[in-house]
Structure 1
Amino acid sequence: MLSGYFYPVCRTLIFHNQPLQSQCTHLYCKPHLAYIVATSHACTYDGYLVADVDSKV
């Protein structure tokens, strides 16, 4: 059985090795993180500035 969870913002199923963590420690799916980096650069949860280079799996 595959284990994963639904990403709460865009309701995407994310498997254990796919979430990206920002410097402010929040988890994102890759498409949502790319959207944030391209638009507001602000974390959806706390407004912290998010950069693609700061993110890690």
Structure 2
Amino acid sequence: MALWDAIEQSLTAWQNAGSPDITAVQLHITAEAHTYWVGDNPALRWQHPLR
């Protein structure tokens, strides 16, 4: 998937979720990765591996 396509998909999902503010973002930190998400929509879930 092209970078802009991923950004557009995330923006559309965020708008469809009612444009939640920053307080809706959840974060899970492990030694392997940081995972961020808003609600249960997979398009609003990002994982940043640390290794």
Shorter-chain TM-score range: 0.3 to 0.5
Higher strand share: 2
TM-score by length of 1: 0.31
Higher helix share: 2
